[in-house]
């Protein structure tokens, strides 16, 4: 636990200057330069941030911070990702069960809601039976 706390403290001290000050960025010159560049120059000097895939960029940023700032090993990442996927699936299952229970308890008291419920359930069974039948055709 002390090792984790010391790593966290070290990371906080490294990032303190950047997190405790206010920063204002002006991009007018970059936009002007990008507008004046030829298509060939845009290919050579690719600095348009609108083309970044931000999810991938942030993942690489966090991995770099973990590896180079916190000096941690990346060997535990596959197990952590598997655990996160399991937690996500549990959350989806719980939310689905909760919606079904709320539907059955509160909404399904009317005949119209009951008809809608039976229609949705029958569609789900038809969908599952279609995939069961189509998977045996291979």
Percent of the chain beyond pLDDT 90?
A: 29
C-beta neighbour count of 110 within 10 angstroms: 9
Range of the domain at 86: 1-136
C-alpha dihedral, 25 to 29 to 34 to 38, nearest 10°: -160
Mean pLDDT, the chain, as a whole number?
86
Q: Is the pTM value of this prediction over 0.85?
A: no
Structural domain total, the chain: 1
Of the CA atoms within 13 Å of residue 41, those in its CB half-sphere come to 6
> What is d(CA 50, CA 52) in angstroms, rounded to the nearest whole number?
6
pLDDT digits over 33-82, tens only? 989 999 898 888 887 888 889 999 999 999 999 899 888 888 888 998 99
> What is d(CA 37, CA 51) in angstroms, rounded to the nearest whole number?
16
Contact 63, 74 (CB under 8 A): yes
State how far Cα 81 lies from the chain centre: 12
Question: If you average pLDDT over residues 88-96, what whole number do you get?
Answer: 95
């Amino acid at each position: 636990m002390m090792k984790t706390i010391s790593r966290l403290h070290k990371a906080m001290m490294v990032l303190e200057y950047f997190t405790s000050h206010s920063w204002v960025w002006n991009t007018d010159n970059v936009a002007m330069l990008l507008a004046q560049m030829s298509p060939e120059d845009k290919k050579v000097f690719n600095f348009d941030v609108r083309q970044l895939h931000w999810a991938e960029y942030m993942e690489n940023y966090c991995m770099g911070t973990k590896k180079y700032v916190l000096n941690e090993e990346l060997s535990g990442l596959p197990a952590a990702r598997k655990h996160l996927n399991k937690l996500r699936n549990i959350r989806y299952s719980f939310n689905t069960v909760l919606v079904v229970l709320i539907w059955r308890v509160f909404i399904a008291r009317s005949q119209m809601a009951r008809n809608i419920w039976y229609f949705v359930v029958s569609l789900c069974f038809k969908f599952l039976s279609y995939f069961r039948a189509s998977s045996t055709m291979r």
